[in-house]
């Protein structure tokens, strides 16, 4: 797929793309890139790796900039990352995409963007913006889920701790992703090869600032997850302390009763209570008195 950066992003042929009249955007498969890379005359020193993609980054070559994108799938954070490579110079940018990721992002740009002063820098800003377009809403939804978990813990309900762990994992992925996007934007803003117009570097700075705010929001949510976990642990500790207190009280109450049972279980011949008709009721009364006095004592100490 080939596009020209005009007032809108419009489809074109390969011949029109290479004519040099407009800056261009090309989307090729790895196989197409292998066959057609020479036609773009980028003078690439370091071929972009289209197979082993692990991160979002940009690398400056002598006459070009190459790099890769590794993007978490917003619809399935536990699934595989969306991965593709790119190469650019002052004439335009080529995306090397084994799937349909880039085309879907470009179609959204075509549907929503019209430029008064078209440029490669403006296209890159809109392309990068499409990647994080819905992230504020996604992060707000995570915050609402965390609020529900926090409320359940405070009210003593069964909290979704597995959901909390999943959210922490997603947020860590977002944090890494945003850090890489910030570094990518800063690499573009550095403009080491002077591919971009100085006045247009503000687009990369604008994008970097936006992603920085998302990065701060993610860090705040991660801190919130830690706070929720600490709250749950403190609630659990209080509950365990109450159980231990009850067990300690029960043990303390029944300890003297156990001693009495032990004494009278020995059945010595000269135990005076054995021959007394009041012996059994007296022992029962003593046991009841011990239990009542112990409970009153613990009540007064506010242990019950």
Q: At what angle do helices 135-154 and 201-264 cross, to 10 degrees?
A: 20
- Domains of the chain: which residue ranges? 1-117, 243-300
pLDDT score, position 52: 74
Residue in 61, 127, 119, 111 with CA at minimum distance from that of residue 92: 119
The CA distances from residue 30 to 38, 56, 71, 99, in Å, are 14, 18, 18, 10
Q: Is the dihedral of CA 8, 67, 27, 53 positive or negative?
A: negative
Provide the CATH number for the domain formed by 1-117 in this structure. 3.30.460.20
- CATH class of the domain defined by 243-300: mainly alpha
pLDDT score, position 46: 65
pLDDT score, position 45: 63
In tens, the pLDDT along 58-86 reads 888 878 888 899 989 888 878 888 889 99
d(CA 22, CA 5) in angstroms, rounded, equals 6
DSSP-derived pairing of the beta strands 82-89 and 57-60: unpaired
The CA distances from residue 1 to 88, 94, 118, 147, 161, in Å, are 16, 10, 19, 45, 46
Q: Which residues of the chain fall short of a pLDDT of 70?
A: 43, 45-50, 267-270, 272-275, 303-304
pLDDT score, position 270: 65
In tens, the pLDDT along 109-155 reads 988 888 888 889 999 999 999 999 889 999 999 999 988 888 887 77
Residue in 128, 30, 11 with CA at minimum distance from that of residue 84: 30
Residue in 54, 113, 261 with CA at minimum distance from that of residue 105: 113
């Amino acid at each position: 797929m080939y596009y020209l950066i005009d007032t809108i992003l419009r489809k074109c042929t390969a011949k029109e793309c290479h004519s040099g009249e407009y800056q261009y955007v090309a989307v090729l498969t790895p196989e197409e890139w292998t066959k057609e890379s020479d036609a773009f005359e980028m003078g690439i020193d370091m071929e972009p790796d289209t197979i082993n993609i692990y991160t979002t980054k940009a690398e400056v070559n002598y006459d070009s900039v190459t790099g890769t994108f590794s993007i978490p799938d917003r619809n399935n954070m536990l699934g595989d990352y969306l991965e593709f490579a790119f190469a650019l110079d002052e004439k335009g940018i080529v995306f090397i995409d084994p799937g349909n990721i880039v085309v879907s992002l470009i179609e959204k740009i075509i549907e929503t963007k019209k430029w008064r002063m078209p440029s490669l820098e403006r296209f890159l800003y809109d392309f990068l913006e499409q990647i994080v377009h819905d992230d504020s809403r996604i992060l707000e939804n995570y915050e609402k889920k965390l609020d529900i978990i926090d409320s359940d813990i405070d009210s003593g309900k069964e909290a979704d701790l597995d959901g909390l762990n999943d959210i922490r994992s997603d947020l860590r992925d977002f944090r890494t992703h945003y850090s890489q996007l910030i570094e990518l934007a800063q690499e573009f803003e550095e403009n080491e090869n002077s591919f971009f117009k100085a006045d247009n570097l503000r687009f990369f700075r604008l994008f970097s600032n936006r992603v920085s705010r998302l990065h701060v929001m993610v860090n705040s949510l991660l801190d919130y997850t830690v706070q929720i976990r600490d709250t749950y642990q403190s609630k659990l500790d209080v509950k365990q302390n109450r159980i231990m207190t009850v067990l300690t009280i029960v043990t303390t109450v029944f300890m003297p009763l156990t001693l009495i049972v032990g004494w009278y279980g020995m059945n010595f011949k000269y135990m005076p209570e054995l021959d007394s008709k009041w012996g059994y009721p007296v022992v029962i009364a003593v046991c009841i008195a011990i239990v009542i006095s112990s409970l009153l004592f613990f009540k007064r100490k506010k242990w019950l």
